[in-house]
Amino acid sequence: MPSLEALWQPLYAELDGEEAPAEVLQQSELELRRGGYVVRFGGIAADQGTYTLDANGLTLCGMVGPNAGRTIPCLFKFVEDTLMICYGLSGTRPEKFQTRQDGQLYLVTYRRKG
């Protein structure tokens, strides 16, 4: 499996069934390095913490920003040259790579940026 450690640019995102605006995606990036993550918007760190991988998936532990103190279990998979992550914002790991209204699910498809 390819390494998750990289800088990732979102190509598509939706939260609870609503698609994110293209302008937001263009200004955002996710960096995964040495067990840590940073989400930047407009080049400024907006959210950061640690991540772990196990048989169940990816789990983020927020330390700074809006997710500080939260644990966010995720599903992830590589599809060709992209990374798809479905974040369980409620604290429950998603069962599928899809969102629904009021599901507290955030689905993002990223491409490797660097």
Output the pLDDT for position 114.
Answer: 64
Q: How far apart are CA 45 and CA 65, in angstroms?
A: 9
Q: How far apart are CA 103 and CA 63, in angstroms?
A: 23
Paired tokens of 14: 């939706």
Does residue 11 sit within a domain?
yes
Domain extent at residue 79: 6-112
Q: How far apart are CA 61 and CA 74, in angstroms?
A: 11
**Contact call for residues 62 and 78 (beta carbons, < 8 A):** no
The CATH number of the domain where 58 resides is what? 2.40.128.490
Does residue 14 sit within a domain?
yes
Does residue 27 sit within a domain?
yes
Tally the domains of the chain: 1
Does residue 1 sit within a domain?
no
Paired tokens of 27: 């200004």
Amino acid at 10: P
pLDDT at 2 over 70: no
Q: pLDDT per residue over 35-92, tens digit each?
A: 999 999 999 999 999 999 988 899 999 999 999 999 999 999 987 789 999 999 999 9
